[in-house]
């Protein structure tokens, strides 16, 4: 997620964001104290990387504290080495670890895991948000049974930020992998929740919402997309967004839309394809600069500009999928995140917690549900 | 498609490619005469761009001739201006034009269009392949009723080449938009046809085939993907490929797989997302080089290396989706293709026609059908 972003976000004066005024990118009041609950055992790189990541965040932000869940003695040792974490970490020793390829239905039944313990700290109000680099399916399944869904939400979604040509530098896309299915009603809810996230997270008063399809013509696509097209168009006033209609894959990094709505299968493939493509181009660029002595000199000269570009498109800096539609905030970091990536996910979780986004989203969904029940529209 | 590609393709000596030995990238004997049928009215940029594109191809390749379909007087004028086309073009005047947003079911019923006329020239044996920049759905629908499907093929597919980390520099992905649905049997046929295309088109004796999913674990994904996973694994010997199992979006530009099998909805979104992302990174790179006087000097120094990179990832140079599963070769160029893009699609069509790929693919599909009928396996 846009952590070290230098993009200024224009927020009209006095513009209300759900129920509160926007303060900065995520409406955060500087110094708001937040405790984050961290699953220290999830991810491909192990607890040392996760502790390194939270230490980095702690050094930058004196208002954040942590509860770490996992192998107690190991975590004690890792935390003791980090000066920035001194006095700011509670360690909760839990023996179980959810593996990256474990079935969600199995993982969610285990009571002794670091993942479940991390989610429960949010459930019990000890922490304001949870961060995990672990198994996505297991994290979603466990979050659903422990935190429960917001009333009126059928399928929660994972929303990610995507580098784009927009003024704010990022689009929101959802669902990127919570559920491989989504019917028309789910897609409408994604539009509502995504618009709320864009309003609070990117400071856009009336976000532009688009529905991902294989063409922009109305007759294209699967049946559920045609039905969703009508529902989302009718939901404009209620959801406080502008509906631009169908969009294509090429629009995701573009500037015609702020919120891209799709099912979790398509969204996940698009996200990973985009990341893979950006990485390929970046790798080829590095090779191009090593190709000749002249190009090596050029690389030195352009270093500052290239570093700025790298920062702009670095997938580690847009790390963190937010679970939308639950009674609590859960941020899913990439399984392969390094310390920079973990720190980006922690920063996002801090901002979401400090801005009270979870409560605002709940209020928005509740008002949509009430309105639907009152006037019979959907 | 890989036109000016400098990637050498290793082909083991004496390696049979379907029924014929491989000569070069697409098994083309230099100087093989080919007549291509061109829909001159399709696409966003109009006939002037299409004529400019074929003129470029004609200047490079003395063995190619054209039949142009469209507005006769206009085409006469455009062709007369191009020295390289002198004596090598037949113009067929046809009044109708299929618009880019016309419904396929409607377009395929019209007998007077440049698109239908271009396909019919292949059907009647006057040309060995057809190229169109027009409406994809209409082109596929018209191709299906005029050329007909190969026996044993339920859903034809569109295959594209994708810049990747592979030794050959490209992967094959299909379907990227012929049909928004695909069941397990269709996906098996895509694996067979895609492997044949990779063998003939990229010189890979035993291509590695992967099935696109949201994770590599066997329990993930939709029901039809689990069924297809088994079918494609069982088809290895028959299809002369190695099955690597499920792959994710991030593997598309990578080096673990040569043929990516997916439904046309997902493939189309992935293709356009990848193109859009590559374009965003390229645009940002250009801006980075303009940012400071120092970076402008750097850009000059690195010019050769950067141009090589640009050529490698330029979407215009990988322009051309091949329709697989029909009795005849049809190449779909991007609707927004410029002259470079049209020329790339023409080169691909020439190579496919000159190498007899259509006949080889038909033989492969027929042998798969026969084998299935004989031993009862699928």
pLDDT at position A316 over 80: no
Q: Give the contacts of A308 (CB within 8 A, at least 6 positions apart).
A: B288, B291
Could you give phi then psi for residue B214, rounded to 5 degrees? -90, 5
Cross-chain Cβ contact B305/A312 below 8 Å: no
pLDDT band at A185 (very low <50, low <70, confident <90, very high): very high
pLDDT tens profile A60-92 = 999 999 999 999 999 999 999 999 999 999 999
pLDDT tens profile A97-118 = 999 889 999 999 999 999 999 9
Q: Say which of A103, A302, A305 has its CB closest to residue B219.
A: A103
| Chain B residues touching A273 at Cβ < 8 A | 249-250, 252-253, 270, 273-274, 277
Residue A258 · residue A209 · CB < 8 Å: yes
Cross-chain Cβ contact A269/B264 below 8 Å: no
pLDDT of residue B316: 64
pLDDT tens profile A189-200 = 999 999 999 988
The answer to whether ipTM exceeds 0.90 is no
pLDDT of residue A6: 31
**Chain B residue closest in CA terms to A135:** B215
Cross-chain Cβ contact A268/B302 below 8 Å: no
Mean pLDDT of B162-191: 91
Cross-chain Cβ contact B249/A302 below 8 Å: no
pLDDT band at A165 (very low <50, low <70, confident <90, very high): confident
pLDDT of residue B129: 96
pLDDT at position B5 over 50: no
pLDDT tens profile B46-86 = 999 999 999 999 999 999 999 999 999 999 999 999 999 99
Count of all residues that appear for chain B in the document? 378
| Chain B residues touching A181 at Cβ < 8 A | 222
| Chain B residues touching A304 at Cβ < 8 A | 291-292, 294-295
Residue B18 · residue B364 · CB < 8 Å: yes
Q: Say which of B273, B280, B295 has its CB closest to residue A301.
A: B295
| Chain B residues touching A161 at Cβ < 8 A | none
| Chain B residues touching A248 at Cβ < 8 A | 268-269, 272
Can you tell me the distance from the alpha carbon of A158 to that of A342, in angstroms, rounded to the nearest whole number? 17
Q: Say which of A250, A282, A291 has its CB closest to residue B272.
A: A250
The DSSP bridge partners found for residue B106 are none
**Chain A residue closest in CA terms to B102:** A217
Quote the tokens at residue A280.
Answer: 């390929």
pLDDT of residue A209: 98
pLDDT at position B130 over 50: yes
Cross-chain Cβ contact B291/A308 below 8 Å: yes
E-assigned strands of B275-362? 321-324, 329-332
pLDDT of residue A377: 42
CA A8 to chain centre: 20
Cross-chain Cβ contact B253/A276 below 8 Å: yes
Full set of structural domains in chain B with CATH: 31-153+325-378 (3.40.50.10950)
pLDDT at position B251 over 90: yes
What percent of the residues of chain B are helix, what percent strand, and what percent coil, each to the nearest 5? Answer: 45, 15, 35
Residue A98 · residue A42 · CB < 8 Å: yes
pLDDT tens profile B363-377 = 888 877 777 665 544
pLDDT of residue B318: 67
Can you tell me the distance from the alpha carbon of A99 to that of B71, in angstroms, rounded to the nearest whole number? 64
| Chain A residues touching B215 at Cβ < 8 A | 137
**Chain A residue closest in CA terms to B164:** A280
CA distance A7 to chain B (A): 14
Cross-chain Cβ contact A273/B252 below 8 Å: yes
């Amino acid at each position: 997620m846009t952590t070290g972003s230098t993009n200024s976000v224009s927020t009209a004066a006095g513009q209300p964001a759900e129920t509160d005024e926007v303060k900065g990118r995520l409406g955060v009041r500087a110094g708001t104290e937040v405790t984050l609950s961290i699953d220290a055992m999830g991810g491909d790189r192990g607890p040392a990387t996760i502790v390194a990541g939270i230490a980095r965040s702690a050094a930058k932000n004196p208002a954040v504290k942590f509860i770490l869940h996992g192998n107690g003695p190991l975590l004690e040792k890792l935390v003791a080495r980090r000066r920035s974490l001194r006095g700011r970490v509670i360690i909760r020793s839990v023996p179980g670890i959810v593996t990256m390829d474990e079935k969600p239905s199995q993982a969610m039944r285990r009571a002794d895991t670091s993942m479940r313990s991390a989610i429960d700290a949010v459930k019990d109000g000890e922490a304001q948000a949870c961060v995990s680099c672990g198994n996505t399916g297991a994290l979603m399944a466990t979050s659903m049974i422990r935190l429960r869904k917001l009333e009126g939400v059928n399928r929660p979604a994972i929303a990610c930020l995507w580098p784009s040509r927009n003024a704010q530098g990022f689009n929101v896309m959802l669902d990127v992998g919570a559920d491989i299915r989504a019917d028309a009603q789910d897609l409408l809810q994604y539009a509502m929740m995504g618009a709320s996230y864009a309003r609070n997270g990117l400071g856009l008063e009336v976000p532009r919402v688009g529905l991902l399809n294989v063409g922009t013509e109305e007759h294209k696509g699967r049946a559920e997309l045609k039905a969703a097209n009508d529902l989302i168009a009718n939901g404009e006033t209620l959801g406080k967004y502008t509906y631009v209609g169908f969009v294509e894959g090429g629009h995701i990094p573009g500037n015609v839309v702020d919120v891209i709505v799709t099912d979790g299968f398509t969204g996940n493939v698009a996200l990973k394809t985009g990341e893979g493509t950006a990485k390929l181009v970046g790798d080829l660029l590095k090779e191009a600069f090593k190709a000749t002595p002249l190009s090596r000199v050029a690389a030195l000269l352009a270093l500052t500009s290239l570093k700025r570009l790298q920062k702009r498109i670095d997938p580690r800096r847009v790390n963190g999928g937010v679970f939308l539609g639950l009674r609590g905030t859960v941020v899913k970091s990439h399984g392969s995140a390094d310390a920079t990536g973990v720190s980006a996910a922690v920063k996002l979780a801090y901002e979401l917690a400090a801005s009270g986004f979870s409560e605002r989203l709940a209020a928005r969904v509740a008002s949509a549900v009430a309105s639907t029940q009152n006037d019979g529209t959907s």
